Amino acid sequence: MASGGPAFRWNVLAFIATVALVLFLSTALLVLLDPRSQAWWGDRFSELGTFVRALLDAVRPRG
């Protein structure tokens, strides 16, 4: 069988991965450049940390 290049499925997967990477990088650039978005994401991560800490405190036995 002759090799005709990558299959259509791999082209679609590469396109989806490229789009996801571009979206991630553009969001990261926005966060790095905009102080308001830095504050917003900082608040979200702080809330996530508080939630995880509360879960760990609820699961771990006190000793």
pLDDT at 63 over 70: no
User: pTM of the prediction?
Assistant: 0.54
Domain boundaries, the chain: 8-59
pLDDT at residue 1 tops 60: no
Distance CA 5, CA 10 (A): 10
Burial of 20 (0-12, 13-18, 19+ CB in 10 A): exposed
Q: Determine the pLDDT at residue 2.
A: 58
pLDDT of 14-53, one tens digit each? 999 999 999 999 988 988 899 998 999 899 999 999 999 9
